[in-house]
């Protein structure tokens, strides 16, 4: 969401004299206009358990599913990358459940997230798909990989899969000076927004209080109990993911930032050894890989997907 921050703050500096200016809302409208201008269309799928899954689709070619991370939405996380990738692929980019415009009446855990994606792919009649997921979206990606007959290739970005330990979580909380992961990833106010962005981006720009409040209202205020549950249940999901045989998993690429403070590069290297998968390390990049290096992300994904198995 670093590009979001830059645009929001620039707009804010120009409009500070206008009280109540809904800058974040304006940025969302701009993203929507940009995607539609490039041929993307926005849709909503009614889920079997109740609720809706919002998604964008556009482009032509092999299907490519893009999954965002915590606190974002499809367009906020993938905007520039999905625009570039749609030149060569049929891009499907959903808002994960309890983010953006999506929600479910099912239990808020990784299994419900995964099943919602399968419902979407079945609805679109996509039998096999390439998938890329960042951060929390990487956990969803790994969960999808348990059905290798449906996944062609996978790209996991800044997400440790089943190898993250309780010790890793404790170290994360220590780095961020929080009591638990929920305090960091489910912020309760503008101060929490600033703390989160300081951890996610290598050089988080100064965020005025009124913009931090709008970011909180636009992206973090809703579905807080459900999001906390997604985090609380990840440790149990870790055990389930760890039982998946790595020999059956589809061909996988890892992408990591060398300055990641959420899941440090050592986590990526460990996952690379665990999966026997190559890892591409972006220099001077933190956790928000797709926002900090969208063009490089797109090129790296394209290069991997174009390789003959």
- The CA distance from 160 to 136, in Å, is 9
CB-side neighbour CA atoms (13 Å) of 130: 23
Range of the structural domain that residue 295 is part of? 42-164+221-306
Query: Considering the domain boundaries, does residue 27 fall inside one?
Result: no
Question: Taking residues 110-123, what's their average pLDDT?
Answer: 99
Question: Taking residues 18-43, what's their average pLDDT?
Answer: 83
Query: Considering the domain boundaries, does residue 94 fall inside one?
Result: yes
Helix (H, G, I), strand (E, B) or coil at 61: coil
Cα-based torsion angle of the residue sequence 183, 187, 189, 190 in order, rounded to the nearest 10 degrees: 110
Query: Considering the domain boundaries, does residue 85 fall inside one?
Result: yes
Helix (H, G, I), strand (E, B) or coil at 280: strand
* Whether the predicted pLDDT of 81 surpasses 50: yes
Predicted pLDDT at 309: 66
Query: Considering the domain boundaries, does residue 183 fall inside one?
Result: no
- The CA distance from 309 to 304, in Å, is 10
- The CA distance from 73 to 219, in Å, is 8
Question: Taking residues 37-63, what's their average pLDDT?
Answer: 98
Query: Considering the domain boundaries, does residue 209 fall inside one?
Result: no
- The CA distance from 142 to 114, in Å, is 10
Query: Considering the domain boundaries, does residue 131 fall inside one?
Result: yes
Q: Which two tokens stand for residue 217?
A: 């209202």
pTM of the model: 0.92
Query: Considering the domain boundaries, does residue 25 fall inside one?
Result: no
Write down the mean pLDDT value for the chain: 92
Question: What is the CATH number for 73?
Answer: 3.40.50.1820
How many residues in the chain?
Answer: 309
Angle between helices 2-14 and 23-37 (to 10 degrees): 120
Strands 62-67 and 89-94: parallel
Q: Where are the beta strands (DSSP E) in 180-283?
A: 251-257, 279-282
Please calculate the CA angle 147-302-31 and round it to the nearest 5 degrees.
95
Question: Taking residues 166-178, what's their average pLDDT?
Answer: 94
Predicted pLDDT at 207: 86
Query: 3 near 294, Cβ under 8 Å?
Result: yes
- The CA distance from 6 to 267, in Å, is 29
Question: Taking residues 101-114, what's their average pLDDT?
Answer: 98
**% residues pLDDT > 90 (the chain):** 84
Task: Using pLDDT thresholds of 50, 70 and 90, give the confidence band for residue 134.
Answer: very high
- The CA distance from 94 to 101, in Å, is 9
Query: 79 near 3, Cβ under 8 Å?
Result: yes
Q: Which two tokens stand for residue 119?
A: 């419902």
- The CA distance from 274 to 139, in Å, is 15
* Whether the predicted pLDDT of 88 surpasses 80: yes
- The CA distance from 138 to 305, in Å, is 17
Q: Which two tokens stand for residue 109?
A: 């855990």
What are the backbone angles phi and psi of residue 193, rounded to the nearest 5°? -60, -45
Query: Considering the domain boundaries, does residue 32 fall inside one?
Result: no
* Whether the predicted pLDDT of 72 surpasses 90: no
* Whether the predicted pLDDT of 11 surpasses 80: no
- The CA distance from 280 to 272, in Å, is 10
SS3 content of the chain, % helix, strand, coil (to 5): 50, 15, 35
Task: Using pLDDT thresholds of 50, 70 and 90, give the confidence band for residue 16.
Answer: very low
- Total of domains in the chain: 1
């Amino acid at each position: 969401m670093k590009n979001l921050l830059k645009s929001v703050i620039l707009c804010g500096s120009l409009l500070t004299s206008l009280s109540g200016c809904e800058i974040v809302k304006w940025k969302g409208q701009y993203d929507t206009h940009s995607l539609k201008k490039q041929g993307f269309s926005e849709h909503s799928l009614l889920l079997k358990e109740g609720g809706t899954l919002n998604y964008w689709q556009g482009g032509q070619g092999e299907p490519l599913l893009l999954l965002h991370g915590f606190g974002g939405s499809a367009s906020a996380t993938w905007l520039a990358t999905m625009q570039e990738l749609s030149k060569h692929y049929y891009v499907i980019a959903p808002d994960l459940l309890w983010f953006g415009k999506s929600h479910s009446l099912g239990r808020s855990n990784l299994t419900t997230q995964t099943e919602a994606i399968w419902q979407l792919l079945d609805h679109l009649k996509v039998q096999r798909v390439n998938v890329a997921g960042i951060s929390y979206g990487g956990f969803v990606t790994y969960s999808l990989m348990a059905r290798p007959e449906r996944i062609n290739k996978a790209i996991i970005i800044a997400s440790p899969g089943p190898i993250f330990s309780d010790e890793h979580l404790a170290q994360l909380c220590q780095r961020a000076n929080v009591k638990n992961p929920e305090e960091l990833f489910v912020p309760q106010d503008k101060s929490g927004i600033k703390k989160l962005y300081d951890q996610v981006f290598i050089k988080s720009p100064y965020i005025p209080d009124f913009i931090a409040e709008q970011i909180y209202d636009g992206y973090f205020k809703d579905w807080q109990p459900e999001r906390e549950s997604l985090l609380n249940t990840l440790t149990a999901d870790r055990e389930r993911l760890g039982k998946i045989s790595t020999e059956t998993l589809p061909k996988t690429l890892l992408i990591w930032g060398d300055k990641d403070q959420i899941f440090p590069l050592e986590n990526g290297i460990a996952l690379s050894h665990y999966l026997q998968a190559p890892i591409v390390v972006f220099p001077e990049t933190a956790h928000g890989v797709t926002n900090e290096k969208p063009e490089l992300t797109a090129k790296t994904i394209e290069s991997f997907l174009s390789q003959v198995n």
